[in-house]
Amino acid sequence: KRTFDLIVSIIGYIIFIFLYLIYGPKIKKDGGKIFFHHIRIGKDLKPFKMYKFRSMHVDAEKKLDEIFLKDEQLKEKFYQNFKLKNDPRITQIGKFLRKTSLDEFPQFINVIKGEMSFIGPRPVVQKEVDMYYGKENSKKIFMIKPGITGMWQANGRSDIEDYNERIKLDLYYIRNWSLWLDIVITIKTLRNVLIKKGAY
């Protein structure tokens, strides 16, 4: 699995360098940084910094608090999925990067560092673990490294809003892992990226 990760990551890292040169200046136009890092839960439930191209305005957290104050229902909706459709915090270039999944390419740095795999469970935040996963599922799922892609991304991405379904997909992957399954997930993910299925 690590060999597969490194082979894919070398290719991904080369693409990432080109994306940095092309889109880096556009991301920086609002005065913010090119990269955004977020604390996610990794192998053995240990937190790590996951990298992405920044797709939101620099004051995104403040804007989220303002949105929640104005609309309690939207707050509930956010915590169902930890995402908002038509999120006003996203920049113009950020919309494009998210829709095409190009914002994920800096995560190849995490794979090379050994913090993530190319394929694995969803890299979630601590609040998601606390709210939805439970102690037993958390232990089982985070026995392995989270992935840039995985069963969830290959089978619908953000269209799958039921956390129980997401957890079932991650558990299925852990129970049935094989190199062939990783290849199938890679092909399905590429298909979903090309048709922009479940991306926002």
pTM: 0.84
Cα separation of 96 and 56, whole Å? 12
Q: How many CB atoms lie within 10 A of CB 123?
A: 22
Cα separation of 101 and 122, whole Å? 15
pLDDT tens digits for range 100-126: 999 999 999 999 999 999 999 989 999
Q: What is the largest CA-CA distance in the chain?
A: 49
pLDDT tens digits for range 18-75: 999 999 999 998 888 999 999 999 999 999 999 999 998 887 777 776 666 566 666 6
Measured in whole angstroms, the distance separating CA 176 from the mean position of its chain's CA atoms is: 22
Establish how many alpha carbons lie within 13 A of residue 46's alpha carbon, considering only the half-sphere containing its beta carbon: 9
Cα separation of 133 and 142, whole Å? 11
